Homo-oligomer: A and B are copies of this chain.
Amino acid sequence: MEETWANGLDLHLDVSGTRPRAQLEGALRDAVRDGRLRAGTRLPSSRTLAADLGIARNTVAEVYAQLVAEGWLTAHTGSGTSVAEAQGTLPHGPRPATPAHDPRRPRYDLRAGEPDLSAFPRGPWLAAARKALAAAPDAALGYGDRRGLAVLRTVLAGYLARARGVAADPAHVVLCSGFAHGLAVLSRALRATGVSELVMEEYGHHSHRVIASSNGLAVRSLRVDDDGAVPDTSAEAVMLTPAHQFPLGMTLHPVRRREFAQHGGVVIEDDYDGEFRYDRQPAGAMQALAPDNVIYCGTASKSLAPGVRLAWLVVPPRLLDPVLAALDGGPSALDQLTLAEFIASGAYDRQIRRARLAYRSRRDRLVAAVSPLGLRVGGIAAGHHGVITTSESPVLERAAAHGIALEGLSQFAHDATATQAGLVIGYARPPEHAYTTALARLCALLADGRRD
């Protein structure tokens, strides 16, 4: 387990001089920097550390606050202060070809695909877990229904109808361990029903193509223009991001939605960030247009955190058996019970409302920050990212040199026709305290670019 630092004296902090606050600040910074205090280590309460060191509690509290503001420490309501994760963890994309061996996390991460992990509602989630586990029957902890627990499928069906306009019968909801897992299951299921090819938007995650093809489907690209994906009536199966094309960001045009929904092939609707609509009415799920044709896919990866590994499919009845036959694994009953309670209690809605406000404000700040440079951010009516049209490689090279993680459109392009250049800015990922600096650095980079 992450160690808890029980005793402030263990680190030989010397605050015996005349400026204990500055001494303590410097000593803690040093300890984090040189690894004596490792990421995730929990610090003693300000009261305990003050007693250990013989200084005022307020002094310690002020030092903690300062170091949190600087990003060295992280504070969680109700669970104290710990060393921030900036330096030494093991994150990487959802499906790398080989295991990662401790890549360093960049100092400012503006890649799309992950929400602000520091905003995960740890306290409310634990409260929901406690309540759910107290009420759950023993049988909920058994092997159970392969679709997932009835209580969560029922609550989700209600939520999806209300929030996304999905026509969802709890009997046709299937829970899985994140969207990548769901896509693997769906690929195998489609293969088993005789589908040989999945048509995917020419811009998208490379990892999704790997999943489809390693699970038996050929992949062909679908053109994307300003109205979203261009309908292809010859497709047996299509995967779309209708509410917010990833990464370009447009909404699929209503006429095209209908064409896709009714053209006869199976549609996998990847509604990865459908809850995060800012400027207009939410674009409801296209699944409602053709529940017999469209497999709706939602996820908690953006609304809560990818680590929760919870996603949901709403499956047309005729595909339910093949999907269940292709399903292996699935989320834990404990998390299922907790999410059901979390949604039913209104905590999920509150979390999304809070996150939506925060991300909308970040988006507005991004737009305002790059506007003086004559740059526009596209695809920002929803979600966690936007696209700045500019030449990619000079900016990306400088970004890497400056410890900023950035990605260009070309990294998501899969077809000869996909030739747009631009930066995909994930504005959700940095913790709140780091966003201002991340934005300033991005603007500096872009300004340098304008001078080239």
Enumerate chain A interface residues (CB-CB to B < 8 A): 1-2, 4, 39-42, 74, 76, 78-80, 82-85, 89-101, 105, 113-114, 117-118, 120, 122, 125-126, 129-147, 149-151, 155, 171, 176-178, 180-181, 184-185, 211, 214-215, 305-310, 320-321, 324-326, 328-335, 340-341, 344-345, 431
Find out whether the CB atom of A329 lies under 8 angstroms from the CB atom of B181: yes
Our pick among B131, B144, B147, B329 for the contact of A328 (Cβ within 8 Å) is: B329
Find out whether the CB atom of A141 lies under 8 angstroms from the CB atom of B306: yes
Contacts of A344 in B (CB 8 A): 1
- The smallest beta-carbon distance between A142 and chain B, in angstroms, is 5
Find out whether the CB atom of B320 lies under 8 angstroms from the CB atom of A99: yes
Please measure, in the bound complex, the distance between the C-alpha atom of A139 and the C-alpha atom of B430, giving whole angstroms: 11
Closest 9 CB pairs of A and B: A307-B333, A177-B329, A181-B329, A79-B134, A85-B137, A184-B328, A85-B139, A141-B307, A89-B139
A154 nearest in chain B by CB position: B1
Please measure, in the bound complex, the distance between the C-alpha atom of A59 and the C-alpha atom of B4, giving whole angstroms: 46
Find out whether the CB atom of B181 lies under 8 angstroms from the CB atom of A135: no
Find out whether the CB atom of A91 lies under 8 angstroms from the CB atom of B143: yes
A89 nearest in chain B by CB position: B139
Find out whether the CB atom of B309 lies under 8 angstroms from the CB atom of A331: yes
Find out whether the CB atom of A140 lies under 8 angstroms from the CB atom of B307: yes
Contacts of A132 in B (CB 8 A): 1-2
A323 nearest in chain B by CB position: B99
Find out whether the CB atom of B308 lies under 8 angstroms from the CB atom of A334: yes
- The smallest beta-carbon distance between A127 and chain B, in angstroms, is 10
Find out whether the CB atom of A137 lies under 8 angstroms from the CB atom of B89: yes
Please measure, in the bound complex, the distance between the C-alpha atom of A84 and the C-alpha atom of B345, giving whole angstroms: 23
Please measure, in the bound complex, the distance between the C-alpha atom of A450 and the C-alpha atom of B367, giving whole angstroms: 83
A338 nearest in chain B by CB position: B334
28 pairs across A/B with beta carbons < 8 Å? A1-B131, A1-B135, A1-B151, A39-B137, A42-B135, A78-B134, A85-B138, A98-B321, A113-B143, A114-B143, A117-B141, A120-B141, A126-B130, A138-B431, A141-B308, A142-B307, A181-B330, A214-B325, A308-B332, A308-B333, A308-B334, A309-B329, A309-B332, A328-B328, A329-B329, A332-B332, A334-B335, A335-B335
- The smallest beta-carbon distance between A348 and chain B, in angstroms, is 12
Contacts of A138 in B (CB 8 A): 74, 84-85, 117-118, 120, 431
Our pick among B41, B78, B117, B325 for the contact of A139 (Cβ within 8 Å) is: B117
Please measure, in the bound complex, the distance between the C-alpha atom of A147 and the C-alpha atom of B102, giving whole angstroms: 12
Please measure, in the bound complex, the distance between the C-alpha atom of A141 and the C-alpha atom of B305, giving whole angstroms: 6
Find out whether the CB atom of B139 lies under 8 angstroms from the CB atom of A1: no
